[in-house]
């Protein structure tokens, strides 16, 4: 029996979980797993070879799960879906889905425009609510023009889904939603890695709801987030006009664990804030986003730690000395101030294990993290040697900091108190041959600033030679805790931050070993952290 528009709106949640599968049984198994937690579901019927045959089973599902609200989607291949049938065949699937207990159907704008007069009315006569959707897989273009094309059909919901090619494309979409919100029920999402902002903040802008994957690896659109991550990590149900926005900006940023760590800290300390991963290719694009959202604070990572400096009102003396900043605070006057918490994250773990005055330390790399290591170590009285693939960059850093450069062939006959890897080599998703060989590890300690994976190739090599190691997790959590304190003025829940990072890294390692997608990130259960890592008071449619 069709629902009245008022009753339908009262039933739908903020998150609609997309259900995919190769068979009706597979879809129902997935739907049954999520329906109690998130009863608003989209069944992607275009993923089935013969969607009509699945409808009797889906009808039974709705009969048994009366609290569930279902969207039927059978998107044609030409419009980003998988259905290879004709427009008439698509309409037959959607009409019969309406008779099988579905409450809404999603029809592409292109299909709507191709229908003969009266055909759309036949679908509406079934009593089902109509979503008319448009997906642009290439860019964010004329959204107002799309609205004008959809408006004559007078659907119950308009779904406008462009692709974010820049961070500020999210702002374009959200401003569009805000403008049109009074006129109709808009669902707005930006696809792509840069579109995460719209998926978390779109509801705040006025999007009727958003879409999520049932589990990681089952995304129905580029950049889609798993439902559990949206709910537990981003606390999407609690994001409101007063929620402060923070983020980590870099390129690449996809594998960063800063969002799970910082959002856990905000939740633990009851701070009304959300922290996002910002795929920032250009600093100019990032700065525009900071002003438009506005963003209250940033973690700056590779490759922007040095370039960001010229855009800051002022920095702490340490950042100025290093020439690199990893923490930005947007003050009440709207101006940006910079800090460097990398130094504390590097020096702190080392000082708990050795005296740095007079210690001989090799630093690999000459970028932002390496600069923090070099200046931080020199400040503590260490003798620092720099090895970098581009010799000129190493020489420049050595001159600025009062350090020395060294060539790789000199390493086997040179001993060190510590070797620090400040390059991205060994990081998940970064390709590159190892910088050092076993014969080069003539040292008492190896510290790898890469934290994902925990066991990097360099650390594995060191362990094989019984050399003590410091993992990047310790540095990562320590510097993140300092950032949290700069932004909020509250003591950081460092133990909890450490716990969740270790928990997620273990999950990822297990998933990688099994060859399955990593599970959705969520808060770690109560568990004591490993002693070694313990810090000091440290093309598809949406």
Sheet holding 210-213, edge to edge: 186-188, 157-161, 129-135, 104-108, 69-73, 40-44, 15-19, 210-213
Using the structure block, give the residue that is written with the tokens 């300390």.
269
Is-contact 414 361, C-beta < 8 A? no
Question: Which residues, including other chains, have CB under 8 Å from residue 338's CB and lie 6 or more apart?
Answer: 308, 309, 312, 314, 315, 316, 319, 325, 327, 328, 329
Question: Which residues, including other chains, have CB under 8 Å from residue 232's CB and lie 6 or more apart?
Answer: 520, 521, 522, 523
Is-contact 208 186, C-beta < 8 A? yes
SS3 content of the chain, % helix, strand, coil (to 5): 45, 20, 40
Between the alpha carbon of residue 432 and those of residues 281, 392, 423, 424, the distances in Å are 21, 20, 10, 9
Is 50 a residue of the active site? no
Of 14, 96, 244, 305, the active-site residue reads 305
Is-contact 470 447, C-beta < 8 A? yes
CB atoms within 10 A of CB 525: 8
H or E stretch covering 492: none
Question: Residue 168: CA atoms inside 13 Å, Cβ hemisphere, count?
Answer: 12
Partners of 133 in beta bridges: 108, 159
Q: Which of 369, 372, 344 is nearest to 537 (CA)?
A: 344
- The Cα–Cα gap between 519 and 512 comes to 11
* Cα-only R_g, the chain: 26
CB atoms within 10 A of CB 439: 10
User: Which class for 320: exposed (0-12), middle (13-18), buried (19 or more C-beta within 10 A)?
Assistant: middle
DSSP assignments along 439-461, one per residue: GG--BS-EEE---SSSS-HHHHH
CA 188 to chain centre: 18
- Length of the chain in residues, anyone? 542
Tell me how many degrees the CA angle 382-384-390 measures, rounded to the nearest 5.
Answer: 160
Exposure b/e, 395-423, CB count within 10 A at least 16 = b? bebbeebebebbeeeebeeeebbbbbbbb
Sheet holding 360-364, edge to edge: 404-405, 383-387, 360-364, 418-421, 446-448, 469-470
Catalytic site positions = 305
């Amino acid at each position: 029996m069709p629902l009245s528009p008022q009753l339908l709106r009262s039933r739908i949640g903020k998150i609609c979980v997309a259900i995919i599968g190769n068979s009706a049984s597979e879809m129902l198994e997935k739907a049954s797993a999520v329906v109690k937690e998130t009863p608003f579901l989209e069944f992607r019927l275009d993923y089935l070879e013969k969607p009509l045959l699945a409808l009797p089973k889906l009808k039974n599902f709705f009969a048994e799960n009366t609290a569930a609200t279902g969207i039927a989607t059978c998107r044609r291949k030409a419009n980003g879906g998988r259905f290879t049938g004709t427009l008439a065949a698509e309409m037959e699937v959607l009409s019969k889905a309406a008779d099988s207990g579905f409450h809404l159907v999603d029809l592409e704008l292109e299909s709507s425009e191709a229908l003969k007069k009266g055909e759309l009315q036949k679908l509406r006569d079934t009593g089902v609510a109509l979503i008319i959707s448009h997906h642009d897989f290439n860019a964010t273009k004329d959204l107002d023009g799309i609205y004008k094309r959809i408006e004559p059909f007078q659907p119950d919901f308009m779904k406008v889904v462009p692709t974010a090619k820049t961070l500020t494309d999210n702002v374009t979409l959200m401003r569009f939603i805000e403008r049109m919100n009074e006129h109709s029920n808009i669902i707005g999402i930006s696809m792509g890695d840069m579109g995460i902002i719209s998926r978390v903040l779109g509801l705040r802008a006025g999007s009727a709801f958003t879409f999520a994957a049932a589990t990681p690896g089952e995304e129905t659109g580029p950049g889609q987030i798993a439902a559990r991550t949206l709910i537990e990590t981003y606390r999407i149900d609690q994001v409101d006009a007063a929620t402060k926005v923070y983020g980590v900006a870099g390129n690449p940023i996809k594998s960063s664990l800063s969002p799970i760590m910082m959002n856990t800290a905000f939740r633990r300390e009851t701070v009304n804030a959300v922290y996002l991963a910002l795929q920032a290719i250009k600093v100019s694009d990032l700065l525009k986003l900071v002003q438009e959202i506005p963003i209250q604070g940033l973690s700056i990572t590779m490759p922007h730690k040095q370039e960001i400096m010229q855009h800051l009102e002022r920095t702490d003396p340490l950042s100025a000395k290093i020439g690199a900043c990893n923490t930005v605070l947007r003050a009440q006057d709207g101006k940006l101030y910079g800090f460097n918490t990398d130094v504390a994250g590097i020096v702190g773990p080392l000082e708990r294990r050795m005296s740095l005055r007079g210690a001989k330390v090799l630093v690999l790399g000459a970028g932002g993290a390496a600069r923090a290591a070099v200046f931080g170590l020199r400040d503590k009285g260490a003798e620092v040697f720099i090895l970098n693939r581009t010799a000129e960059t190493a020489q420049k850093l050595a001159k600025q900091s009062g350090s020395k450069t060294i060539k790789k062939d000199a390493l086997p006959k040179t001993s060190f108190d510590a070797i620090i890897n400040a390059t991205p080599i060994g990081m998940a998703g970064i390709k590159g041959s190892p910088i050092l060989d076993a014969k080069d590890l003539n040292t008492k300690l190896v510290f790898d600033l890469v934290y994902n994976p925990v066991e990097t190739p360099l650390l594995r090599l060191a362990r094989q030679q019984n050399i003590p190691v410091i993992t990047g997790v310790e540095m990562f959590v320590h510097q993140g805790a300092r950032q949290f304190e700069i932004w909020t003025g509250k003591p950081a829940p460092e133990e909890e931050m450490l716990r969740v990072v270790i928990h997620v890294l273990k999950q990822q390692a297990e998933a990688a070993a099994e060859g399955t997608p990593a599970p959705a990130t969520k808060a770690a259960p109560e568990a004591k952290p490993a002693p070694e890592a313990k810090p000091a008071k440290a093309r598809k449619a949406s």
